[in-house]
C-alpha cells in the first residue's frame, strides 16, 4: 500500500468509520457517488449520511454544479491573471453573510482558519489565542505534545469550553491584552447559548481581541448566513468551507473591512486559490442554495433524522444515549464505544453509511423516505445488538 495510514483523509480511514480491526467485506473505497448514494469498489450501493464529511450540501454530482464546473474546465481552469469569478463570488458572499465585507479564498478549511488566525494576529499585534472545537491540522490549533508541532506554538493557544459563559469571561480577562482572537465552532454537539455568544462578543471587544466563527461545517447548512445569522454573535471574521462549493475544493475567510484589509500586510496566498472550477462550482451552489431554500430543507429532513434517532435512544436505553448536534448535523451517542462500532458496521452491511461520531449530514438529495430507510437499517442493527448473545 503506497499511502501511509490507508488514505490521505484521516476521517475516511476504515478504522475511523468502522473501528479498529474492522472485518473484511465492509466498504473501504468508493468508485462513484450520486445524490445521496455512493457505490464502493465492489459495485455495492449505499445510502450515505456521512456525505463526504459534510462537504456536500446539495447531494453528490448536482447537475447545476456539474455544468458550471464543466464550463470552467472548458474555459481553461487557470490563468496568469486573477479571474473575474473571484470578485463575483466575494460579492455574493457579502450579500449572504453580513460579516463578510471583504473575502479571501483558499482551498481547504484548515488553511482558511489558519489564515483567519494570521489576520487576527496581524490586526491586533498579539499572539495569544483561545480555541473551541476542531479547526484542522495546522500547528496553531494542536494540543501540547502533538508530534512534529513545536511546544512554543501550542503554548500560544488555550482551550475554551463550549457554552460556558463564566469560564469564557474569566479566560478572556486572564489573557487580556495578550489575546489576538477567540476562535470557535458555533455548534459543538448542540447549538450555542445566546448568553455564551454575548459574553464572547462583549469580552473580546473589551480586551481588543477578535471573534472568529469557524463555520466550515455550519456555513450554508443551519442558515444561508450560517450560524451567525441563526444564533447571533456578530463575528469579526468568518471561515467557510465544505458545502461552499458542494464538494469542490474551496474555502474562504471573510470579515470586517478594517480587519480584512490587513491581508495586504499578512502573507496569505496560494497558487490555486483562484482556479476557475471551484469558484464556478461555488457560484452554482449558492444559486441553488438560495433558489431551493436549502437550509430550510436540511432543517426539515434533518428533523426527521434527529427525532428518529431520539426515538431509537428511547427504545434502546442500554445501548444509546440521546442524539447530539442539531438536525442538520447530528449523531448518536452510545453507552460504550463498542456499540457505536458495531452499529456502524451492521448499518453498512444493510447498505447505509452512518458515522458513529460527529457528524452525520443530510443534503438536498435526502428526503423523508430515504431518512426513514436509514432509520430502519439502524433499528434492525440495534435489535441485533440488543438480542441475547449479540
User: β-strand 329-334 against 320-326: which pairing, if any?
Assistant: antiparallel
Listed residues 291, 311, 328: the one ending a domain? 291
Are 213 and 132 in a shared domain?
Answer: yes
Give the strand order in the sheet containing 352-353: 30-34, 37-40, 45-48, 352-353
Which residue out of 214, 236, 333, 359 is catalytically annotated?
214
Which residue out of 12, 40, 127, 134 is catalytically annotated?
134
Are 278 and 182 in a shared domain?
Answer: yes
Asked if 262 is an active-site residue, the reply is no
Listed residues 291, 314, 333: the one ending a domain? 291
Are 40 and 85 in a shared domain?
Answer: no
- The number of domains in the chain is 2
Residues 42-90 have pLDDT tens digits of 999 999 999 999 999 999 999 999 999 999 999 999 999 999 999 999 9
User: Residue 217 in contact with residue 185, Cβ under 8 Å?
Assistant: yes
Mean pLDDT, range 292-306, rounded to an integer: 98
Q: For residue 390, what pLDDT band results from cuts at 50, 70 and 90?
A: low
User: Residue 182 in contact with residue 212, Cβ under 8 Å?
Assistant: yes
Residues 347-367 have pLDDT tens digits of 999 999 999 999 999 999 999
Are 234 and 331 in a shared domain?
Answer: no
Rounded-to-integer distance, Cα 276 and Cα 267, Å: 22
Which residue out of 107, 217, 242, 333 is catalytically annotated?
242
Asked if 334 is an active-site residue, the reply is no
Are 140 and 204 in a shared domain?
Answer: yes
Q: Is residue 2, in this structure, part of any structural domain at all?
A: no
Q: What is the pTM of this model?
A: 0.97
Asked if 46 is an active-site residue, the reply is no
Q: Is 76 exposed, middle or buried, given 0-12, 13-18 or 19+ CB atoms closer than 10 A?
A: exposed
Give strand pairing partners of 252. Answer: 105, 240
Are 134 and 205 in a shared domain?
Answer: yes
Q: What is the pLDDT of residue 1?
A: 86
Q: Report the mean per-residue pLDDT for the chain.
A: 97
Structural domain span for residue 50:
10-61+293-386
Provide DSSP, 233-295: ---SEEEE-GGGGTTSS-EEEEE-HHHHGGGGTS----TTTT-HHHHHHHHHHHHHHHHTTHH
Give the chain's end-to-end CA distance (angstroms, integer): 34
Amino acid at each position: 500500500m503506497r499511502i501511509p495510514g490507508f488514505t490521505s483523509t484521516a476521517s475516511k480511514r476504515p478504522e475511523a468509520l468502522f473501528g479498529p480491526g474492522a472485518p473484511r467485506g465492509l466498504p473501504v473505497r468508493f468508485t462513484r457517488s450520486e445524490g445521496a448514494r455512493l457505490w464502493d469498489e465492489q459495485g455495492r450501493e449505499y445510502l450515505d449520511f456521512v456525505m463526504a464529511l459534510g462537504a456536500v450540501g446539495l447531494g453528490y454530482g448536482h447537475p447545476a454544479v456539474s455544468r458550471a464546473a464543466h464550463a470552467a474546465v472548458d474555459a481553461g481552469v487557470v490563468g496568469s491573471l486573477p479571474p473575474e469569478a473571484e470578485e463575483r463570488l466575494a460579492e455574493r458572499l457579502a450579500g449572504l453573510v453580513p460579516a463578510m465585507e471583504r473575502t479571501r479564498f483558499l482551498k481547504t478549511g484548515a488553511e482558511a482558519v489558519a489564515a483567519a488566525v494570521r489576520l487576527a494576529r496581524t490586526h491586533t499585534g498579539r499572539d495569544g489565542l483561545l480555541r473551541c472545537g476542531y479547526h484542522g491540522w495546522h500547528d496553531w490549533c494542536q494540543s501540547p505534545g502533538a508530534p512534529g508541532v513545536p511546544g512554543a506554538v501550542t503554548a500560544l493557544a488555550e482551550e475554551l469550553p463550549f457554552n460556558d459563559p463564566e469560564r469564557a469571561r474569566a479566560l478572556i480577562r486572564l489573557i487580556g491584552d495578550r489575546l489576538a482572537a477567540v476562535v470557535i465552532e458555533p455548534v459543538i454537539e448542540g447549538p450555542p447559548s445566546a448568553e455564551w455568544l454575548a459574553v464572547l462578543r462583549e469580552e473580546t471587544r473589551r480586551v481588543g481581541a477578535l471573534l472568529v466563527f469557524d463555520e466550515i461545517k455550519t456555513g450554508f447548512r443551519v442558515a444561508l448566513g450560517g450560524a451567525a445569522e441563526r444564533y447571533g454573535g456578530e463575528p469579526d471574521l468568518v471561515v467557510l468551507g465544505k458545502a461552499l462549493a458542494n464538494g469542490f475544493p474551496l474555502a474562504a475567510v471573510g470579515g470586517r473591512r478594517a480587519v480584512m484589509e490587513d491581508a495586504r500586510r499578512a502573507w496569505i496566498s496560494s497558487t490555486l486559490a483562484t482556479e476557475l472550477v471551484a469558484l464556478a462550482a461555488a457560484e452554482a451552489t449558492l444559486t441553488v442554495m438560495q433558489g431551493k431554500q436549502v437550509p430550510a430543507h436540511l432543517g426539515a429532513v434533518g428533523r426527521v433524522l434527529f427525532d428518529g434517532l431520539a426515538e431509537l435512544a428511547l427504545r434502546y436505553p442500554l445501548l444509546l444515549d440521546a442524539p447530539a448536534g442539531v438536525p442538520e448535523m447530528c449523531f448518536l451517542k452510545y453507552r460504550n464505544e463498542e456499540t457505536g462500532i458495531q452499529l456502524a458496521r451492521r448499518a453498512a452491511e444493510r447498505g447505509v453509511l452512518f458515522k458513529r461520531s460527529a457528524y452525520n449530514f443530510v443534503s438536498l438529495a435526502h428526503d423523508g423516505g430515504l431518512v426513514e430507510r436509514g432509520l430502519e437499517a439502524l433499528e434492525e442493527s440495534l435489535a441485533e445488538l440488543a438480542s441475547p448473545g449479540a
